Amino acid sequence: MVFKLHFCHSASLHFTAKVQLKNHRLSRRYVKSSMKNEEIQIELDKRNPNQKALLLLSYGHQLTVMSRESYEFKGAGVTNPRLLRDANEILHRVFQALTELQLQSEKSFSLSGVSHWISCEEKSGSIVQTSNQAFSMALQKCKIT
């Protein structure tokens, strides 16, 4: 487990530890390998609309948590702008897909393409592992029986 210590007040001994999930051994158990677009689409297709929405919400939450490593804790700086931008673009598509699910839209353009964004097949850098790990963790939380 890797911790970054940030001292809030020099006069006192208050400090905050930030756990970086990407280095946490427990979080690695969720990721077997990168999921392809088709595999993610299969996982979405075998769920009813409510289960799809729950899976996408869980994925979105995990992605935001894991993307916290892209900026300084209690600071103004962005340390990994590419990760922050990629996560934002993915969430843009996920929120539109959730809107289509909620409205039971006949046109489900975003819903049909959201697996492409989650898989990050055409991306490089830390977003690939981050997105795949977030989706794997969401699948663990939202198992269907």
Which residues in 8-79 belong to E strands, given as ranges?
Answer: 15-19
pLDDT at 33: 61
* Candidate from 22-26, 62-66, 96-100, 139-143 with smallest mean pLDDT: 22-26
pLDDT at 98 over 90: yes
Over residues 100-142, the pLDDT tens digits come to 999 987 777 788 899 999 999 889 999 999 999 999 999 999 9
* Higher-pLDDT residue of 1, 92: 92
* 3-state DSSP helix/strand/coil % of the chain, to nearest 5: 60, 10, 30
User: Are the CB atoms for 142 and 134 separated by under 8 Å?
Assistant: no
Average predicted confidence (pLDDT) for the chain = 80
* CA 75 vs CA 7, 45, 49, 69, 99: distances in Å: 12, 41, 39, 12, 33
